[in-house]
Amino acid sequence: MPQIFAYIEHKGGAADDSAAELVAAAKKIDPAASPVAVVTGWGADFDALCNALTALYAEVWKVADASLAYPNAELVRKALAKVVPHDSILLIAHDHFGLDLAPGLAIKLDSTFVSDVVSIEGLDGGFLKVVRQEYGGQVSTHVRCDVSSGAVVNIRPGAFKPVESAPVNGKVIDKSSQVGALSAGRRYLETFVAESGDVDISKQAVLVSIGRGIQEKDNVAIAQELADAMGAAVSCSRPVVDAKWLDKSRQVGSSGQTVKPKVYMACGISGSFQHLAGLKGNPFIVAINKNPKAPIFQVADVGIVDDLLEFLPELTGKIRELK
Amino acid sequence: MTKQESSARPQFAVEERVAEESVRMFDGIPSPAQATYWSIPGPVLFSVIAVLGLACFAYIVARRLAPLLRGERDIRFDRPLVRLQRVFQYWLGQWKHPRFRFAGTMHILIFAGFLILAFQAFSLLIVGNSGDAVIARFSENAGRSYGILKDYAATIVFLCMVIAATRRIVFKPARYEVPSRYGKGHRADAIFLLALIATLMVSESLFEACKASMQAQHGLQAELLAVLSLPWLLKNALSTVSAATLWNTYRGAYLVDVLTFYFLLCYRPFGIQFHVETSLFNVYFAKLDRGTVKPVRWGVDLDHVKSFGVKTFLDFTWKHMLDFYSCADCGRCSDQCPANAVGRPLSPRFLTTKARDYSFRHYPVVGAVANGTPLIGSIYSEDEIWSCTTCGACEEECPLLIEYIDKIVDLRRGMVDDGNVPKSLQKPLKALESRGNPYGKMEKKRAEWTKLADFQKSCAVPVLDGRQSAESLYFVDSITSYDDRMQSIGRATARILNHVGANFGILGPAEKDSGHEVRRFGEETLFMALRDANVEAIEASGVQRIVTSDPHAFNALKHDYRDLPPVEHTSQLIAREVKAGKIRFNPVEDGDKIYTYHDPCYLGRHNQIYDDPRQVLDAIPGLKRVEMGRSRDRALCCGGGGLMLFYEPKEDQRIGVLRARMAADAGANVIVTACPFCMVNMEDAIKVAGSEGKLTAIDLTELVDQQIARESVSEVVAGEQVVVTRQEGAPV
Amino acid sequence: MEILVCVRRVPDTAENEIELNRAGNDIERDDIVYSVNEWDNYAVEEALQIVAKSGGNVTVVTVGGEDDEEVLRREMAMGANHGVLITDEAFNGSDGRGIATILKAYIQKNKYDLILTGVQAEDGGAQVGGMLASFLDYPFASLVNSIEVLDHNKLKISREIAGGSKEMNEIDLPCVLSIQTGINEPRYVGMRGIRQVASLEIPTYGASDLGLDPNSVGDAAAKVKRTDYFLPALGKGAEILQGSREEIIDSLIGLLKSKGGLK
């Protein structure tokens, strides 16, 4: 059985949610596996993080270097190419960093690369069987990958639920010295944090979408609070934009944006043809509408016949409680 | 002074000594040809003025014509008799003017006044040289009647100048206002022109008054002046003036008159008053064919055209350039423009005046020609040009028959050619290219609307795919085929056609979008591809007539397509069948419903079908109908159809909302439309305006389908016995 | 600047209803409309804007067959100066690494300052760009949403990261960038433009032209293969949740969690 590694992303001393998810994914590949965490970074926060990871991983390979203080995928790739054994299976989250890092890393490790895996069936000889999606999630495919010479696998965030288990008593192994001097043709400069006004709903995975049922501009805040609690963004149908309660950039529809979220909360939206034309892929649609005959219920997965002005705040409250 | 015999020779206080023999008489008194102006003899001075004035004018007109000679070709010399008839109706008859009653009446008076005075004006000019009164050649009576007429004409024109100036200064009608983004106001210029014309009237009247006074003073038979006319009033005012003052006023008035005349002549081509000269030609050459769009280039094979559309000024046709010269800046077009009414960046009046100013700047009377600046991005913005719904209200109003839609389409063609298409329109255009409909839906689902379970049982709609053929084609077009709400219009239409026993079918998957808006949004090549595909399918189907419930498709099939069987709109068919007794109606059940009919632009204005839908509604017993304030050719566009539904304009509110309010103001609670796009816009507007429950919209076909008196037994359809039940009453 | 943009012809998700074919081994391709991958189109527009400012040429390349030529022509109608079709039976069935290997061979026979790909393809793995960069040993950046040419050696780029923030980087030329949608507003390509490029010449390259060993590419060399396609379970109309509001909220939260709707 090949050894399984997991690359851990982190920010401000805290590990990304994917850290626990990658453990779950590793277990799907090999239930008996004891994955090894690989982390790059620099500084006191980083050291503390590595220690904290020992609760999840039996071994935490720490790669500390000043040049890795900011996660520049070009530098991280060079570091990992030296540290990670070539015939292992390396799991990386399929996010903005993982996308940047993994494909090129697979080439450097001379391993097979598999992208955006949503489900793992298991290892069969030297072959890993996984499930991927195509066409914005409209179809799924079973994929068979030859991992006999190693693999780098990008795991879709949220696809693998962390498994509750007793904390592991892992140890930190310092691999920093193996890395040597790192330089790359790409240099990090700075980050511009997006203002909350600059939300691009077409890139959002979860949307809380409102229609005329929101009734007044002041009630838009109800949707924003739910969105904040869910880690989502607020979008809307045309009448809301026309009433100038939200900016045009929030409109979903044939004359608005096309969105491909995983989850779409349609609150007080009737479900007109023009609106639904902007909803692509195969999102999980939750419809909340006072009118049981609203067309949205034809296309939604789950429907709730209730007054959104009362339902949403209660939902928000409950979600917050659970956090 | 006593009256003397006409044979006696009167003495005149002339400045220079004049030999008695050489005194030429002008109705008994010297003409200005006898006067001397600062030591220059009258004839010399006036000859110089005339030559200079005419030469200047000729030169100015030649310079103004220069860009027209370099502009694109335009076919405007055909059907001369029709054109002449229109000159009589619209130019001489001022046909469109009364649409704005006050200003229109004034203009009719001014125009009539000018025509009447024209003869006088020309003869007066000659007087400075020859001294003979041209009028004397006419009979005494004719001369006298004309004299009275012209006196009143001058007076009325003068009064109109005063009223017009007052209007401008005190009342400031909204449509004359110039929003700051278009530059400074036009009021000062307008007042200047009004003052000049008034001056002309006064100087001429003063001249007449002086002449009559001098005749009276010398005991001659004075020319009869019309009572209470300006010359009459001035003559009375001058009655106590000395002979010398009179003589000086007389020749002074003449000089002012001549100078003002020639100044105006040469000044007019520099501004809106050029329409005085160009209006006759503009009306003669005006577009004859409503609802059509000009080809990319007249008489040129598209393969040989390097650049499509209008990008620089010389890409306009000469007639379009003439339009720019002919605009009188009256603002009637913008007053009725729906885009302008909701704050979109489009105002037709300024489309024209900006182009005119551009042409004056770049093709000046004096100075070098400056060629080739792109218009979009300099005088026009992209949104300005995309904002137009092509409703035709501007063209309907313009008294000079200035055309707008063709220019907008040409400007759009230029932008499309450069790849400059707003993102919101790229999606539907691409879908039209690959799927033949703007929604990107699959071709094979185009006839799905006929397969709704209950409907299909009662009303079979054959697809004319070669195996089946029929006498009539129901051309459904994209929105009625694919939009769930509009599909009910399709079904209602099918049931109506069934009811009247029509042998019809649809093209189904072989039908492509009619391409009506594709063409009007400037994608000519894609339009031609859609058209060719449709024509092929229609010819293959072997139908002999076409009916459609979509006015945009109707207009396209009628005007953009060629060599098709006759096309009609469902409202025409229904009206005919009602008259023939084949359609009878059940009375309206809900007595609280008050209906109003909204004229779709492509049924109403562009094709002048106003009465058929109204006759249909009025044939329904118990249907209470009111007319909106703006109806028929004054109807306000719903906001636009086809690709316009995808465009994201910058506007203060939606055009449809304005229209919904008009319906409510008229006292209606049901808006009846005859166009699926009007339906989309009206239903949206009702939601946005918060009028749900107070106002609803229904399509004519849905209403007819709902109210048709059907015998409950079977109706025979194409040889099959089908039980027609009252089904799917459209939502009211 | 010589820019190469790698493009791909894919089924258009906006204009198709993606369904499975009867055999379950592919999507139903009858009646499918293809177009250029949306991300690649943004990349071509970006390349055109760069050369408009800094001079140079844009070449578009695709690995495929005859059918794929149409996307090259479309991008040439948009303004690309050259189109290149890399085609060979031996290339069929290549996985992402195979495609990258093929493109690498082509690139090494030419001189390009900048290579652009789209972030991902509708049916792809967001991988070719990164792999290509590694093969060529060029610096790489993904999710690029703005490019500024600093000089003939360097670019300043921004990457789209979590929450819509922008990560600014400096990158040396030659490099590979994968382009994110929204970086620009691609110009419209009208039907007229497409007709005008219909007869332009598009050179082709095969395995031997590129000096590629057929065993290193194609189906035989692929390590990642789809075995079948299937549809995730679909419901018929909404399942209306029943019970008290509290109960409904609880059910809903459970469902949201399982669908990834809650962070």
Domain range annotation of chain C: 2-235
Nearest neighbour of B525 by CB, restricted to C14, C31, C192? C192
Task: Answer whether B434 sits within 8 Å of C12, measured CB to CB.
Answer: yes
Instruction: Report the alpha-carbon distance of residue B422 to residue A213 in Å, rounded.
Output: 30
- Section A115-123 average pLDDT: 93
The neighbour count for residue B541, using CB atoms within 10 Å, is: 24
Highest mean pLDDT among A157-171, A202-216, B4-18, B62-76: B62-76
Cβ atoms of residues C256 and C262 within 8 Å: yes
Are residues B691 and B629 both part of a single domain?
yes
Q: A273 and chain B: CB distance < 8 Å anywhere? A: yes
Task: Answer whether A96 sits within 8 Å of C143, measured CB to CB.
Answer: yes
- Section C188-193 average pLDDT: 94
The minimum CA-CA distance between C209 and chain A, rounded to whole Å, is 24
Contact residues, A window 291-320, toward B, CB-based 8 Å cutoff: 295
DSSP, residue by residue, A228-246: HHHT-EEEE-HHHHHTTSS
Give the range of the structural domain holding residue A208, as residue numbers without chain letter. 201-322
Does residue A117 belong to any structural domain of this protein?
A: yes
Cβ atoms of residues B635 and B605 within 8 Å: yes
Tokens of A225: 């609070």
Does residue B361 belong to any structural domain of this protein?
A: yes
Tokens of B559: 């005007």
Q: C249 and chain A: CB distance < 8 Å anywhere? A: yes
Task: Give the list of residues 6+ apart from residue C201 with CB closer than 8 angstroms, or none.
Answer: none
Helices (H), B128-270: 140-166, 187-217, 230-237, 243-267
Instruction: Report the alpha-carbon distance of residue C5 to residue C212 in Å, rounded.
Output: 21
Residue C245 has pLDDT above 70, yes or no: yes
Q: How far is CA B473 from CA B540, B550, B718, in A?
A: 12, 13, 14
Instruction: Report the alpha-carbon distance of residue B359 to residue B346 in Å, rounded.
Output: 20
pLDDT tier, B1 (very low <50, low <70, confident <90, very high otherwise):
very low
The minimum CA-CA distance between A236 and chain B, rounded to whole Å, is 14
Does residue A171 belong to any structural domain of this protein?
A: yes
- What's residue B25's pLDDT? 52
Does residue B35 belong to any structural domain of this protein?
A: no
- What's residue B21's pLDDT? 33
Please name the residue of chain B whose CA is at the shortest distance from the CA of residue A295: B484
State the number of CA atoms in the 13 A half-sphere of B403 facing the CB: 27
Task: Give the list of residues 6+ apart from residue B414 with CB closer than 8 angstroms, or none.
Answer: B307, B308, B309, B310, B311, B315, B375, B376, B522
3-state secondary structure of B30: strand
Q: Where a domain ends, among B577, B594, B626?
A: B577
Neighbours, chain C (3 or more CB pairs < 8 A): A, B
The minimum CA-CA distance between A267 and chain B, rounded to whole Å, is 16
Are residues A141 and A8 both part of a single domain?
yes
Q: Is B544 left (phi over 0), alpha (psi -120 to 50) or beta?
A: alpha
- Section B501-511 average pLDDT: 96
Phi, psi dihedral angles at C157 (to 5 degrees): -125, 160
Looking up tokens 């696809």 gives A159
Residue B648 has pLDDT above 90, yes or no: no
Pairing mode of beta strands A127-134, A206-210: unpaired
Neighbours, chain B (3 or more CB pairs < 8 A): A, C
Q: In what order do the strands lie in the sheet with C57-63?
A: A186-192, C166-172, C154-160, C140-149, C175-179, C114-118, C2-6, C57-63, C82-86, C204-205
Q: Where a domain ends, among A178, A213, A247?
A: A178
Sign of the four-CA dihedral B50, B53, B57, B58 = positive
Looking at domain C2-235, its CATH superfamily turns out to be HUPs (3.40.50.620)
Task: Answer whether C261 sits within 8 Å of A193, measured CB to CB.
Answer: no
Domain holding A227: CATH number?
3.40.50.1220
Task: Answer whether C17 sits within 8 Å of B443, measured CB to CB.
Answer: no
Task: Answer whether B434 sits within 8 Å of C193, measured CB to CB.
Answer: no
Residue type, C137: D
Tokens of A117: 């895996």
Domain holding B553: CATH number?
3.40.50.1860
Please name the residue of chain A whose CA is at the shortest distance from the CA of residue B645: A255
Looking up tokens 């816009």 gives B681
- What's residue C198's pLDDT? 93
Does residue B596 belong to any structural domain of this protein?
A: yes
- What's residue C27's pLDDT? 87
Tokens of A28: 């799907």
Cβ atoms of residues B163 and B156 within 8 Å: no
Domain holding A29: CATH number?
3.40.50.620
Are residues B251 and B313 both part of a single domain?
no
- Which of the residue ranges A154-163, B308-317, B412-421 would you say has the lowest mean pLDDT? A154-163
- What's residue B632's pLDDT? 96
Helices (H), B268-403: 275-284, 318-326, 332-336, 338-341, 348-362, 382-386, 393-397
Cβ atoms of residues C236 and A204 within 8 Å: no
Residue B565 has pLDDT above 50, yes or no: yes
Cβ atoms of residues B339 and B389 within 8 Å: yes
Q: A243 and chain B: CB distance < 8 Å anywhere? A: yes
Q: How far is CA A61 from CA A7, A36, A66, A79, B304, in A?
A: 10, 7, 16, 12, 70
Neighbours, chain A (3 or more CB pairs < 8 A): B, C
Per-residue b/e over B114-153, b at no fewer than 16 CB within 10 Å? eebbeebbebbbbbbbebbbbbeeeeeeebeebbebbbbb
Q: Say what the ipTM of the complex is.
A: 0.88
Q: A290 and chain B: CB distance < 8 Å anywhere? A: no
Q: How far is CA C87 from CA B612, B664, C197, in A?
A: 62, 66, 20
Does residue B279 belong to any structural domain of this protein?
A: no
Instruction: Report the alpha-carbon distance of residue B521 to residue B304 in Å, rounded.
Output: 22
Task: Answer whether A254 sits within 8 Å of B648, measured CB to CB.
Answer: no
pLDDT tier, A137 (very low <50, low <70, confident <90, very high otherwise):
low
Please name the residue of chain C whose CA is at the shortest distance from the CA of residue B413: C190
Does residue B160 belong to any structural domain of this protein?
A: yes
Are residues A27 and A148 both part of a single domain?
yes
- What's residue B95's pLDDT? 96
Cβ atoms of residues B286 and B86 within 8 Å: yes
Neighboring chain C residues of A302 at a CB cutoff of 8 Å = 238-241, 252, 255
Instruction: Report the alpha-carbon distance of residue B344 to residue B334 in Å, rounded.
Output: 11
Cβ atoms of residues A65 and A82 within 8 Å: no
Are residues A76 and A207 both part of a single domain?
no
Neighboring chain A residues of B684 at a CB cutoff of 8 Å = 238-239
pLDDT tier, B672 (very low <50, low <70, confident <90, very high otherwise):
very high
Instruction: Report the alpha-carbon distance of residue A61 to residue A171 in Å, rounded.
Output: 9
- Section A79-102 average pLDDT: 94
Phi, psi dihedral angles at B618 (to 5 degrees): -70, -15
The minimum CA-CA distance between C87 and chain A, rounded to whole Å, is 23
The minimum CA-CA distance between B673 and chain A, rounded to whole Å, is 20
Are residues A128 and A275 both part of a single domain?
no
Instruction: Report the alpha-carbon distance of residue C189 to residue B531 in Å, rounded.
Output: 20
Q: A255 and chain B: CB distance < 8 Å anywhere? A: yes
Please name the residue of chain A whose CA is at the shortest distance from the CA of residue C153: A185
Are residues A65 and A159 both part of a single domain?
yes
- Section B329-351 average pLDDT: 96
Q: C236 and chain A: CB distance < 8 Å anywhere? A: no
Sign of the four-CA dihedral C96, C97, C98, C101 = positive
Does residue A189 belong to any structural domain of this protein?
A: no
Are residues B226 and B304 both part of a single domain?
no
Are residues A276 and A160 both part of a single domain?
no
3-state secondary structure of C111: coil
Does residue B725 belong to any structural domain of this protein?
A: no
Task: Answer whether C192 sits within 8 Å of B435, measured CB to CB.
Answer: no
If 0-12 CB within 10 Å is exposed, 13-18 middle and 19+ buried, where does residue C203 land? exposed
Neighboring chain C residues of B435 at a CB cutoff of 8 Å = 15, 33
Neighboring chain A residues of B679 at a CB cutoff of 8 Å = none
Instruction: Report the alpha-carbon distance of residue B489 to residue B569 in Å, rounded.
Output: 13
Tokens of B12: 């005149």
Are residues B704 and B557 both part of a single domain?
no
- Section B530-552 average pLDDT: 97
Q: Where a domain ends, among B548, B577, B606?
A: B577
Cβ atoms of residues B406 and B294 within 8 Å: yes
Q: C16 and chain B: CB distance < 8 Å anywhere? A: yes
Looking up tokens 């056609």 gives B497
Neighboring chain B residues of C16 at a CB cutoff of 8 Å = 440, 442
Contacts A–B by Cβ distance under 8 A: 31
Residue type, B95: W
Cβ atoms of residues B196 and B260 within 8 Å: yes
Does residue A85 belong to any structural domain of this protein?
A: yes
Cβ atoms of residues C183 and C144 within 8 Å: yes
Instruction: Report the alpha-carbon distance of residue B523 to residue B409 in Å, rounded.
Output: 9
Does residue A195 belong to any structural domain of this protein?
A: no
Nearest neighbour of B687 by CB, restricted to A212, A273, A295? A212
Per-residue pLDDT reduced to its tens digit, B59-99: 999 999 999 999 999 999 999 999 999 999 999 999 999 99
Are residues A117 and A86 both part of a single domain?
yes
Are residues B270 and B291 both part of a single domain?
no
Residue B720 has pLDDT above 50, yes or no: no
- Mean of pLDDT over chain B: 89
Give the range of the structural domain holding residue B413, as residue numbers without chain letter. 287-417
Q: B677 and chain A: CB distance < 8 Å anywhere? A: no
The minimum CA-CA distance between A241 and chain B, rounded to whole Å, is 10
Task: Answer whether A255 sits within 8 Å of B647, measured CB to CB.
Answer: yes
Are residues B562 and B440 both part of a single domain?
yes
CA torsion, ordered C238, C240, C245, C246, to nearest 10 deg = -80
Pairing mode of beta strands A139-146, C224-230: antiparallel
Neighboring chain A residues of B482 at a CB cutoff of 8 Å = 273
Neighboring chain B residues of C13 at a CB cutoff of 8 Å = none
Task: Answer whether A107 sits within 8 Å of C259, measured CB to CB.
Answer: no
- What's residue B27's pLDDT? 63
Task: Answer whether A255 sits within 8 Å of B687, measured CB to CB.
Answer: no
Q: C199 and chain B: CB distance < 8 Å anywhere? A: no
Look at chain B and report how many structural domains it folds into: 4
Does residue B282 belong to any structural domain of this protein?
A: no
- Which of the residue ranges A94-103, A190-199, B237-246 would you say has the lowest mean pLDDT? A190-199
Look at chain A and report how many structural domains it folds into: 2
Q: How far is CA B10 from CA A101, B17, B28, B133, B209, in A?
A: 114, 14, 9, 19, 19
Residue A223 has pLDDT above 90, yes or no: yes
Q: Where a domain ends, among B547, B577, B607?
A: B577
Q: A271 and chain B: CB distance < 8 Å anywhere? A: no
pLDDT tier, B38 (very low <50, low <70, confident <90, very high otherwise):
confident
Does residue A268 belong to any structural domain of this protein?
A: yes
Does residue A279 belong to any structural domain of this protein?
A: yes
Neighboring chain A residues of B646 at a CB cutoff of 8 Å = 254-255
- What's residue B713's pLDDT? 42
Specify which residues B30 forms β-bridges with. Answer: B25
Q: How far is CA B257 from CA B53, B148, B160, B161, B366, in A?
A: 13, 19, 19, 16, 26
Does residue B6 belong to any structural domain of this protein?
A: no
Task: Answer whether B431 sits within 8 Å of C192, measured CB to CB.
Answer: no
Per-residue pLDDT reduced to its tens digit, B116-165: 998 877 777 777 666 555 545 556 777 778 888 889 999 999 999 999 99
Task: Give the list of residues 6+ apart from residue B349 with CB closer than 8 angstroms, or none.
Answer: B175, B327, B329, B330, B331, B333, B334
